[in-house]
């Protein structure tokens, strides 16, 4: 889940690298580094005098420190100037975060520089063999073996393509790799397998990145490499070498996102910006997909109604917030479409021998479309003959090429690590899918479908109203953070145990609320179905514990109130999320978060979760945390 950027053919090599790395720092921020080729002024293009690198390792300030240390080097070192460069931001998998483990990595002779995203699963056996051959390693990483392998392969051939093809034959695992060769100072060679990698070209500048925001300011036309493709990126051309050895020109696609969309836009941080964008994200996801009579039309949903009619079991596979969106969808699909649904953690799905066949639909949910666990689960499902549908926010991502159908969310780029707008957009897409399946199976009357979609159309306005309550939630958080204990000392940062409770669709909301608090506030929080609390966890309820109860009205609302009484009786401070004007729920609360009432209870999670995002957000601010870059987390998980 590291970030890669590369550039060739520009007089602004270092500026493009460092600005691109800054935009990618949400993907990894343990360390940062660049490598560049240089020639002396007036020297010919083939006469590279230097391949150098610069690395820093100061956590979330690594790119800023690197940029500062580079200083005026943009003009070159003495009489030198940069021809091409590759940059990397790292999220550690093999080897601790330190300078030696920071990318780029060199070969023994400092003539090859490599940056890598992914995991080389067989690196230990490769490294052992290379050490026996006399190679000297300077890091603990799996990535360094790539540089030494290329050195070894290049000793018998000076042709990088042959060396890279030999590399593909040896490496096991997932990877996106960018390489500089000292003797080819204007060229960047890239290759990928599973891990994402794109290339672009604009006005004589060749570009490489692991994600779109890194190069969005330089080009709007990109090409996404397929597995085992090699790209040669030069200042005025890009060539693609397929697995069969055939060379072709890339077919670029236009990116519609603006650079402004990928920046904060006046907000204090990306998370608050993206919370505010949620109504538009849902409205955009719904737009054009609902006809006047309530029929759902899904773009790139290449499963016919006849095929959907035959589906008798649905599996939803996802991780993190996407998993919670899948749990919400289970209630909606089973209620509206009358099809049994299982929701699986992606990393467990393919290892438990799921029973799949041609009448099974497996739905993979991933904001990036690159989440490795979900990607591998979908590949397993296809091998077993199941139909596969992907819900993702990224066009042409890896999962979209491993499925029968795609339903894109339209949330735009999400740079905050903690999912907000992509999460609610996923729920919107899953609701559309639920209604679409129900319509395909003819289990809803037309007037029922129309009523449901009309309720769904109202949700963006209700979301906007919820966001407008932010100051009330901020005040509530400050009150809770200033509670006193028995010794009358302010607890402040000592509010460290939270339980989130919900029933029916409120349960996945409780899970997501607890996850958000953990992710950005680093406070101990657990989500439970409220009825399960008395089967053990209630032993932890005592004065000082904060219980957040999702009590917006659904079919189990009265039982939820009884569960609230159980925790109140044991001294917990109870924060209730309730609908406006719901006096019965408000009466049970020590503190209350009032949200707009939703016309259909199955749609309530899209409102309730926003209140809990804001609750977690303001706790993180009170704790003094960086909400955009929570520790130990990365936005896109592309390693198992």
Tell me, yes or no, whether 80 and 226 share the same domain: yes
CA 74 to chain centre: 32
Say which CATH number the domain at 441 has.
3.40.50.10490
CA distances from 622 to 423, 494, 516, 615, 617 (A): 24, 12, 15, 11, 9
274-288, 526-540, 594-608, range with the lowest pLDDT: 526-540
632 within a domain of the structure (yes/no): no
Tell me, yes or no, whether 460 and 473 share the same domain: no
Tell me, yes or no, whether 241 and 117 share the same domain: yes
CA distances from 404 to 52, 301, 400 (A): 45, 8, 8
Distance CA(606)–CA(585), nearest Å, equals 20
Tell me, yes or no, whether 525 and 408 share the same domain: no
3-state SS class at 277 = coil
628 within a domain of the structure (yes/no): no
Order of strands, sheet of 591-595, starting from the edge strand that comes earlier in the sequence: 524-529, 497-502, 546-550, 573-579, 591-595
The four Cα atoms 167, 168, 170, 171 give a dihedral, to 10 degrees, of 100
54 within a domain of the structure (yes/no): yes
Catalytic member of 2, 36, 319, 495: 2
Question: Which stretches within 342-371 are classed as H helix?
Answer: 346-349
pLDDT one-digit tens code per residue, 78-136: 444 678 999 999 977 788 889 999 999 999 999 999 999 988 989 999 999 999 999 99
Strands (E), 265-374: 313-318, 341-345, 360-366
638 within a domain of the structure (yes/no): no
Say which CATH number the domain at 16 has.
3.60.20.10
Query: Quick check: 338 pLDDT over 70?
Result: yes
629 within a domain of the structure (yes/no): no
Q: What is the mean pLDDT of residues 64-89?
A: 76
555 within a domain of the structure (yes/no): yes
Tell me, yes or no, whether 280 and 227 share the same domain: no
User: b or e along 530-544 (b: 16 or more beta carbons within 10 Å of the residue's beta carbon)?
Assistant: bbebeeeebeebeeb
Strands (E), 367-429: 387-392, 405-408
Tell me, yes or no, whether 237 and 186 share the same domain: yes
360 within a domain of the structure (yes/no): yes
pLDDT one-digit tens code per residue, 416-427: 889 999 999 999
3-state SS class at 183 = coil
Tell me, yes or no, whether 367 and 476 share the same domain: no
By residue range, what is the domain housing residue 529?
Answer: 469-622
pTM: 0.74
Tell me, yes or no, whether 316 and 431 share the same domain: yes
Catalytic member of 330, 518, 588, 635: 635
Indicate the residue among 195, 227, 255 that finishes a domain. Answer: 255
Tell me, yes or no, whether 133 and 44 share the same domain: yes
Indicate the residue among 418, 435, 464 that finishes a domain. Answer: 464
Task: Please provide residue 358's backbone torsions phi and psi, each rounded to the nearest 5 degrees.
Answer: -70, -15
247-256, 290-299, 473-482, 576-585, range with the lowest pLDDT: 290-299
639 within a domain of the structure (yes/no): no
201-215, 395-409, 480-494, range with the lowest pLDDT: 480-494
Residue 635 annotated to the active site: yes
Tell me, yes or no, whether 442 and 495 share the same domain: no
Tell me, yes or no, whether 129 and 159 share the same domain: yes
Tell me, yes or no, whether 487 and 603 share the same domain: yes
* Structural domain count of the chain: 3
pLDDT one-digit tens code per residue, 545-571: 999 999 998 888 888 888 888 888 888
């Amino acid at each position: 889940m590291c970030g890669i950027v590369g550039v060739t053919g520009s007089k602004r090599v270092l500026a493009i690298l460092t600005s691109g790395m800054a935009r990618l720092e949400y993907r990894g921020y343990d360390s940062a580094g660049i490598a560049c080729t240089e020639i002396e002024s007036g020297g010919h293009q083939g006469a590279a005098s230097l391949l150098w690198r610069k690395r820093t390792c100061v956590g979330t300030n690594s790119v800023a420190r690197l940029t500062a240390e580079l200083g005026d080097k943009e003009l070159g070192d003495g009489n030198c100037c940069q021809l091409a460069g590759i940059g990397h931001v790292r999220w550690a998998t093999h080897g601790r975060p330190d300078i030696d483990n920071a990318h780029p990595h060199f070969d023994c002779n400092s003539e090859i520089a490599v940056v890598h995203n992914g995991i080389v699963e067989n690196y230990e056996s490769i490294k052992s063999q290379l050490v026996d051959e006399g190679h000297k390693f300077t890091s603990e990483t799996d990535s360094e073996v790539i540089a030494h392998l290329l050195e070894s392969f290049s000793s018998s051939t000076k042709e990088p393509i042959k060396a890279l093809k030999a590399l593909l034959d040896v490496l096991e695992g997932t990877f996106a790799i960018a390489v500089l060769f000292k003797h080819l100072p204007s060229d960047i060679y890239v290759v990928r397998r599973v891990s994402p990698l794109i290339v672009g070209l604009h006005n004589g500048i060749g570009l490489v990145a692991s994600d779109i925001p890194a190069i969005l300011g330089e080009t709007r036309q990109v090409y996404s490499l397929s597995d085992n493709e090699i790209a040669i990126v030069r200042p005025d051309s890009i060539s693609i070498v397929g697995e069969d050895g055939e060379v072709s020109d890339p077919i670029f696609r236009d990116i519609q996102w603006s650079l402004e969309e990928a920046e904060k836009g006046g907000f204090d941080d990306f998370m608050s910006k993206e919370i505010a964008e949620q109504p538009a994200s849902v409205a955009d996801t719904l737009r054009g997909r609902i006809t006047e009579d309530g029929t759902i039309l899904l773009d790139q949903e290449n499963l016919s109604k006849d095929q959907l009619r035959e589906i008798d079991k649905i599996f939803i596979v996802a991780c993190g917030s996407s998993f919670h969106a899948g749990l919400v969808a289970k209630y909606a699909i089973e209620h509206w479409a009358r099809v049994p649904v299982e929701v699986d953690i992606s990393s467990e799905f393919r290892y438990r021998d799921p029973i799949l066949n041609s009448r099974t639909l497996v739905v993979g949910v991933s904001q990036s479309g690159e989440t490795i666990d979900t990607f591998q689960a979908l590949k397993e499902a296809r091998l077993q003959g199941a139909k596969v549908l992907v819900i993702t926010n990224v066009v042409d991502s890896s999962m979209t090429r491993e499925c029968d159908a795609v339903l894109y969310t339209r949330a735009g780029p999400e740079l905050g690590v903690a999912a907000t707008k992509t999460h609610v957009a996923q729920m919107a897409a899953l609701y559309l899918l639920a209604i679409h399946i129900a319509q395909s199976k003819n289990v809803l009357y037309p007037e029922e479908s129309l009523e449901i979609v009309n309720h769904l159309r109202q949700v963006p306005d209700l979301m906007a109203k919820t966001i407008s309550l932010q100051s009330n939630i901020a005040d509530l958080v400050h009150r809770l953070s200033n509670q006193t204990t028995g010794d009358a000392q302010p607890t402040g940062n000592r509010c460290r145990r939270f339980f989130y409770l919900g029933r029916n669709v409120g349960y996945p909301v409780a899970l997501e609320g607890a996850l958000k608090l953990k992710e950005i506030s680093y406070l101990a929080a657990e989500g439970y179905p409220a009825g399960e609390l008395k089967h053990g966890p209630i032993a932890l309820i005592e004065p000082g514990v904060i219980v957040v109860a999702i009590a917006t009205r659904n079919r189990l609302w009265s039982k939820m109130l009884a569960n609230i009484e159980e925790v109140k009786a044991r001294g917990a401070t109870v924060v209730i999320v309730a609908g406006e004007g719901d006096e019965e729920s408000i009466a049970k609360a020590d503190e209350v978060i009032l949200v707009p009432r939703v016309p259909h209870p199955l749609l309530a999670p899209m409102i309730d979760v926003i209140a809990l995002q804001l609750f977690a957000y303001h706790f993180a601010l009170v704790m003094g945390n960086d909400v955009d870059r929570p520790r130990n987390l990365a936005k896109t998980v592309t390693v198992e």
